[in-house]
Amino acid sequence: MPYLFTSESVSEGHPDKVADQISDALLDHFLAFDPESKVACETLVTTGQVVLAGEVKSKTYLDVQEIARTVINNIGYTKGAYQFSGDSCGVISLIHEQSQDINQGVDRGDKDEQGAGDQGMMFGYATNETENYMPLALDISHKILQVLAELRREGKDIPYLRPDAKSQVTIEYGDDNTPQRIVTIVISTQHDEFVLPKSNTQVDKKAAEAEMLKKIREDIIKILIPRVINQLPDYVQNLFNDDIEYHINPTGKFVIGGPHGDTGLTGRKIIVDTYGGKGAHGGGAFSGKDPSKVDRSAAYAARHIAKNLVASGLCEEVLVQVSYAIGVVEPTSIFIDTYGTCPLNLTDGEIAQTVSKLFDMRPAAIEERLKLRNPIYLETAAYGHMGKTPRTLVKVFESPYSGKVEKEVELFTWEKLDYVDKVKLAFDL
């Protein structure tokens, strides 16, 4: 029997994502000037205020206020009307030194023997239903908001957009677990109050709001959605249809938004960050954490495994779980679930045994294999940590205390298909 599956995304201007981006910008700056920095940085944003907290062990010192303000301005919070802007908000830093009790279990004389920065389980997932091996509903949800941000920055076709937004996509699947059609799209976008009421009466206020909502709905369906569709491959374009139910700003006008409308915290969008509800999640957030924290590094490594397994043809869909004990070098378990999609006469347990030999999952080995001790994290902090295209670029960092540094870095190394041949060889594919 056909079934429905839904995933959501949030924009870079969503309060929780503002917090994530600030935390990862701080992490990048620490790693740029001291690659061995240990960082666990949390951010809170609310009306006119940013609070930075967490634990750091580093040889460098940063102007954390300036870094936070730059991130906020780059997102688009630059106007006093938003009640939150990079130039005017207060920034309070409560960052202090990392606990030695934690650090003694992580740092070792032999870096290869580095222990895990925490206990817990991490998951990676991949499916062949999209070209980037991501769940389709989440992939479309991200794309909707990325295109919406493009339109906002262009300021031409939809000039009234503000930075805060959310999207949600529901897809109908057939009995063979293949997507059949898009059923529902939900988009809530913050906007200017571009139609003012003729008077202060409730009737005129409602009339102005209705006129705004009508215009927003028309622009989203006639301008945004066609641009989104044009950026998607043909097999996904075919899922769009005239019967899609659109909910555009369903609660009414959305003028008050961003950190003024809702307090934001680092690490509150972990499902948006990963697989949109497909597979599983161990519960640990990513942003603000250096790669000694396996919450982040092992989740990336598990995605790397999952994507290479599916791309090699070993299975059509896979969930990878890895677990650790704090301070212990080797993972306590590696689990594989191919959902019955492996064509070989192998159990998932047998596949897991081979995977554990093929991929070194010690924390230091993950850091080295995926080049994680580099300032690569700000780009992960919006529109998902998984599914993006690996690329190399030069990033420039400046500090009033440490000068200027340029670094060539490789982004999204966990998305590389560099183990496909090794997987094929190991499983005789």
DSSP 262: S
Residues in the annotated binding site for Mg(2+): 16
Closest residue by Cα to residue 189 from 246, 274, 264, 272 = 246
Tokens representing 269 are 């969008």
Residues in the annotated binding site for L-methionine: 55, 98, 262, 293
Tokens representing 29 are 């700056």
Q: What CATH class is the domain 3-10+135-257?
A: alpha beta
Q: Do residues 102 and 114 make contact, with C-beta atoms less than 8 angstroms apart? A: no
**pLDDT band per the 50, 70, 90 thresholds, residue 105:** low
pLDDT at 107: 59
Contacts of 209 (CB under 8 A, 6+ apart): 195, 252, 253
Instruction: Give dist(CA 143, CA 288) in Å, integer.
Output: 24
The residue-averaged pLDDT of 277-297 equals: 96
Residues in the annotated binding site: 14, 16, 42, 55, 98, 164-166, 253-254, 262, 268-269, 285, 289, 293
pLDDT at 106: 60
Q: Do residues 302 and 120 make contact, with C-beta atoms less than 8 angstroms apart? A: no
pLDDT at 1: 85
Query: 287 pLDDT exceeds 90?
Result: yes
Q: For 175-226, what is each residue's pLDDT tens digit?
A: 999 999 999 999 999 999 999 999 999 999 999 999 999 999 999 999 999 9
Q: Which part of the chain is CATH 3.30.300.10? A: 3-10+135-257, 15-105, 120-127+283-426
Q: Do residues 90 and 76 make contact, with C-beta atoms less than 8 angstroms apart? A: no
Q: For 116-145, what is each residue's pLDDT tens digit?
A: 878 899 999 999 999 999 999 999 999 999
Residues in the annotated binding site for ATP: 14, 164-166, 253-254, 262, 268-269, 285, 289
Residues in the annotated binding site for K(+): 42
Instruction: Give dist(CA 358, CA 178) in Å, integer.
Output: 30
Q: For 68-96, what is each residue's pLDDT tens digit?
A: 999 999 999 999 889 999 999 999 999 98
CA 143 to chain CA mean position, Å: 13
**pLDDT band per the 50, 70, 90 thresholds, residue 54:** very high
The residue-averaged pLDDT of 358-376 equals: 97
CATH number of the structural domain 15-105: 3.30.300.10
The per-residue pLDDT of the chain, averaged, comes to 94
Note the pTM of the prediction, 2 decimals. 0.95
pLDDT at 100: 59
Q: Which fold has domain 120-127+283-426?
A: GMP Synthetase; Chain A, domain 3 (3.30.300)
pLDDT at 97: 81
The residue-averaged pLDDT of 252-259 equals: 92
pLDDT at 180: 97
Strands 403-411 and 38-46 turn out to be: unpaired
pLDDT at 111: 67
